[in-house]
Structure formats: C-alpha cells, structure tokens
Amino acid sequence: MFTKILIANRGEIVCRVIRTCRQLGIRTVAVYSTADADAQHVRQADEAYCIGGPTPPESYLRGEAIIEVATRTGAQAIHPGYGFLSENADFADAVESAGIAFIGPKAVSMRKMGSKAGAKDLMAAAGVPVVPGYTGEDQDPDHLHAEADRIGYPLMIKAAHGGGGKGMRIVRESGEFAANLASCQREAKNAFGRDRVLLERYVEKPRHIEIQVFGDDAGNAIHLNERECSAQRRYQKVMEESPSPFLTPQLREEMGAAAVLAAKAINYVNAGTVEFIVGQDGRFYFMEINTRLQVEHPVTEMITGLDLVAWQLQVAAGMPLPLAQAGIGRNGHAIEVRLYAEDPEAGFLPGSGRLERLRLPSPDAHVRVDSGVVEGDTVTIFYDPMIAKLIVHDSDRTRALARMRDALSRCEITGPKSNIAFLERLVRHPVVVEGTIDTGYLDRHLEEFLSPTGPVDTDLLLAAATARLLAQEADSRQRAAQSPDPGSPWAIADGWRLAHGSQRSMAFGHGEQRIEVHASGSNGEYRFEHDGKSHQVAGARRSCSALSLRIGDRARRFEVLDHDAHVVVHDGTRRLRLQPMPMYQHEASGAGAAADNVVAPMPGRVVVVRAAAGDAVTEGQEVMVIEAMKMELSLKAPRDGTVAEVRAATGDFVEADAVLVALEPAP
C-alpha cells in the first residue's frame, strides 16, 4: 500500500480522500491555486503547494505542475478526484510515465470512453443496449441535419467529448435543429476544446439509473448496486438515491449484468459508473461510463457499508478487489442532495461570497455531511459553487426521506444565497415521495419547487417577530446588568416609553416585499398588529434554537436560526427567511436608471459580445454572454433602444453589478 499520495483536486473531494487516507495511515499532499490558499483541503492535508493562479487553466488543469509537486514530495500515487483532470487520458499517461501510480482507470480505457460516439459503438459491439442515433465523424451541418431527420424527433444533440450536462440540446422538430446545433457546438468548443457532436433518439420521460462498477488488474469486474439520479435540472443531478424505487428485482439484475459487461469490454480497472437511460417500459440503454469516482458515491457507501476510496487505493496499489460479486450487500436506503450557493428564484444563478453563517446538521449514524468549506470561508467565482453534500440513511425509503427533511431543516447559510428551501420542497413533492419523477420533470414543472408568491404565512411571521423581540430583551437585560443603574426602565428594551403605549415596530424584507409588524408587551407576552389584524402571542420561550409559544389558543414549536442580517424560522415543514430592515428609510431615487443599463449579475468572464455602440436593439435581445462558475449567462437588453457604449470585451473579467452595456437614455 502507498505511504504518501497527492490529491490533484480541490474542496470537498480532497477532504473526503484525506479522511480515508488518515484511517489507512497514508500521508497526503494537496495542491492549490492562489484563490484557495486558505481553503479547507489545504489546511487538512499533511502538506500543500501552490501551483498557479485562480482559474483552473492556471492551476488545477496544469498537469505538469501537479506531477512536479508529486515527484518533489515523494508521492507514490495521484488521486484525481472528480472534474478537472480526472478523466484526462493524457494526464493519466503522464502520471504513469513519471513512475507514479494513477488512482483511476488506465488511459486506454479513458480514451475508449472519452468519445461518446466511440463508446456507443464499442458498447453496441459488446452487446450492451444502446439508443438509436448517429455517431459518425462527418460533422457537416447539412449531413447532421439529414441524419437527425432520419433518426426522427425528438432527438438529443450531445457533445461527443463532454459531460456534466454541458453541450446538450433537445430538438423536437426539424426546423429547430440548425440553431440548436450551432449553440451546442459553441458550448462544447468552449467547455471541452472540441465541437464534435453525436445525435441520438430522445427517450420521453426517462429514468436515469447508474451502476457503480469496480475492476482490478486481474480482470475481475463487479458492480456495487445502482443509484437513481432521475431528479435533474438541465441534466444536472439534484438528488440521488439507492436503491431505485423504479427498478424491479429482475431489471436490477439485468442492468447490473450489463454494467459489468460494459466494464469488461474495455478492461476497466478501479472505480467507474455505467450510466443508463431507462424508458417507462423498462427498456434501458447505455449512455456513458464515467471513468472516475462520482460525486454521489456516498450513497453507495451508505447502503453497502464499504469505503470506495479505500477500494480505489487498494486496486491502484495492485491488490485484487476486496470482495466478489456475491459479497456485495445492500442495507436500507440512502439519499444525497447537494447544497449550492445559488439562487433558485433567479434561474439558479450561482452565488459567491463569504459564508457569514454556515449551519449544517451534526453527523451521526443516519446523517453524513461531506464539505470542503466551513463558516467564514469564501465561495469564489472560479469554481463550482457546491457548499456541502448531505447524505442520509435509514432502514427504508420513507424513513430516509424523513431523515433528509429533518437534516435540511437544520441547515442555514448566510452570505451567498442557497438552494436549501428548494431542496426542502423537492423532498416533500409527491413525485419524489411516490418515486415517479423522471429526468425532465423539474424542467417542465419548476414553478412547483420554487417559493410560492403572495403573503407570508402568519404563524411563521409571528414566530420570527417573537424571536427578534426575545433576543432584543435578552441583550438589553445583559447590557442593563452591566450599567450603573440596572433598575432603570430606560435601560431595558421592553417597549416601555413615556406616553408611548409600549409599542415596538419592526420591518422585514422578504423578496420584493416589505413587511411591517407592530408589537406591544414583553417577556414572551405580546400583541401584534399586522396587515390590519391583531394576534395574541403568549408563553413564548426560547431554548437554544427552539422557540415555543401560543398563538391564540394554539401552541406551536419552531426552530429559529437568527443572525444580524437574517432571521429564519422553520415549523418542521416550511421555512421563512426574513431580512430585518430599518423601520424608517428614505425613498430611493433614480429607480428608472437600471432600465438604461445591462449589468453583470455576478462576477464572471465575458465570452461573447453581440452588440456595438450605435446598434439598435429590442427588449430581450441578447447583447452579451458571460461565463461564471462553469455556466454561461445570457444578458439581454432591458428595453428597445440604441447602444450608447459597450464597456467590456471578450475575455474580460467583470465584477458583479458592473455596467457592461449602456443604452441611450430613453426619450
């Protein structure tokens, strides 16, 4: 076994690999960019070295720099994690050529799977079911259009050298093909350096089932059960679980056998995932093999009781697989979701910034948290905005879902916006509870998972207001006890004022709403006035995060996560997040100025400029595209008008709220 390895990645996966290495007595070397100098993976590794600037091409994609660090530190092997260089065959070859073990499959296997077109042909020859389509090298647009018409619609255009949902388009009729092809090729070229595409029949309302496989140098290959990943948005997985509620025992056995057949067809070694698309009729088709450890591997670890990273290390060291197929068990049910710094209400716009507050559930026998950040760390614009993976396990699916709901209710993030509330609605939605969700459901019905519009729930609002009053009174009592005259009524914030009727007023922001609440009373006994109605709250008590009170003749209990900038209340089912605001404020001026400018919604890099000074534009016309956190954002004209000035060029890095395109003032 190795005594020292280098982990060629960043964030959560590095921390995950380090955890196993410590248990096995293996020392670890990390690498980092200038943006990650204070990152957790740097702090947790035994030693770490800077390899370049903040962007991936300047650092984590510099294979030669990584190998140089491994050689200099005496690392015997390199673990690539996932993303970055994990599926780069040239890097795997270079590692082996340097006399260092690559903790992953052989380069020859990667190359066979690196092209979706070649992989599909190879799998078909091996007897693995594949979707009808076109995988040829002739990439002439007219030829591709003719092939698309032959295959029939709906069909999917895919980047042949891609992954992670990049370079994929669904086309439902012939007239839409040309525009979607051009868009797909451009995205593929930007993301993967090659614009070759393949075409395949699009299976309506499919399920996404993947099988974890493992192989060793002796030619053994087994599978470690399935994971269902049908809850997706724009081809990005949102929730993973095992076992799949969709598979029958017979279908599970057939798919497991097909996955092993696929692995053996390319002499696969180490951890990999064979991904299938499954129609509502139960027919399944090969999609791809991910030649790395998957982000969702903890789901498999939870139901099998195995450490997949430990398996990776053993196989890479030349040892045989620890177990044969008959020794792989399945215990209970596991579910994983990912907490991201993103704003679901703004099209899942990625976020960045300092994690002013990060509250996650405490790990135990049923809850696992994999994260690469802690409170006070910064989510940067240069990398994926994942904050943590939340994984739960219990004896069956119903209990696992209950565990997940409880775990999410104990999460709170202040700083960048997050998808916590979105995930809470997801795991309570009937299509998830009943196990009927397909890969396109979220995109077709996204509004069902977003925050409802309209007035906030009164009970939650009263709980938030009560929590703020109790906190103010507790703080006031503490300050009064330290004052020269602790008995003075002026020193205690109980609402008492001479000839004022003991009234306290509060204002909160909720989205675009401003909510005002007027309260009288103290010490847990309050009368609230809101929206023309009166509400009596009695017996309010706070114990840590728990708030208990009576609203009229109903007793309620809430969890409260409060912070100077926000107060969050949760009743076990619903979450309300409010932003305290000044009760009195000046009217904002210049409200119409924004209509004359196109601004950057977040920090990023300009990839396309589609307008020039003097151009006439119409409302909604795309004028610029920026890239941030591995995704493209289309910026559009806010109104009809004439471009006065373009303030950024292709390749420029821009800050959030920077004016990128200015229109002539409206007449």
Provide the annotated active-site residues: 292
Q: How many residues does the chain have?
A: 667
CA 173 to each of CA 29, 165, 280: distance values in angstroms, whole numbers, following the listed order: 52, 21, 22
Tokens standing for residue 199: 């075409």
- Segments of 168-256 assigned E as strands: 168-171, 197-201, 207-215, 221-233, 236-242
Write the DSSP string, 620-633.
T-EEEEEEETTEEE
User: How many whole angstroms separate alpha carbon 391 and alpha carbon 407?
Assistant: 9
Residue 97 burial by Cβ neighbours in a 10 Å radius (0-12, 13-18, 19+):
exposed
Which position has the token pair 């086309």? 171
Helix (H) or strand (E) holding 89: helix 89-97
Helix (H) or strand (E) holding 662: strand 659-663
Closest CA to 85 of 70, 529, 73: 70
- DSSP state for residue 456 in the 8-state scheme: P
Q: What is the side-by-side strand order in the sheet with 101-102?
A: 47-52, 27-33, 4-7, 77-79, 101-102
User: How many whole angstroms separate alpha carbon 595 and alpha carbon 422?
Assistant: 30
Residues facing 241 on adjacent strands: 228, 335
Closest CA to 284 of 224, 221, 209, 198: 209
Whether the CB-CB separation of 644 and 635 falls below 8 Å is answered with no
Closest CA to 400 of 244, 561, 275: 244
Q: How far apart are the first and last CA of the chain?
A: 74
Residues facing 633 on adjacent strands: 626
Q: Is 78 helix (H, G, I), strand (E, B) or coil?
A: strand
Residue 318 burial by Cβ neighbours in a 10 Å radius (0-12, 13-18, 19+):
exposed
Nearest-10 Cα torsion for 187, 191, 196, 197: -60
Q: Is 42 helix (H, G, I), strand (E, B) or coil?
A: helix
Write the DSSP string, 328-370.
----SEEEEEEEESEEGGGTSEE--EE-SEEE-PPP-SSEEEE
Peptide linkage before 154 cis (omega within 30 of 0): yes
* Cα-only R_g, the chain: 28
Helix (H) or strand (E) holding 413: strand 412-414
Closest CA to 541 of 560, 528, 527: 560
User: How many whole angstroms separate alpha carbon 73 and alpha carbon 477?
Assistant: 57
Whether the CB-CB separation of 207 and 231 falls below 8 Å is answered with no
Within 8 A by CB and 6+ apart from 561, the residues are 357, 359, 412, 545, 567, 568, 569, 570
Q: Do the bridges between strand 386-394 and strand 367-371 make them parallel or antiparallel, or are there none, so unpaired?
A: antiparallel
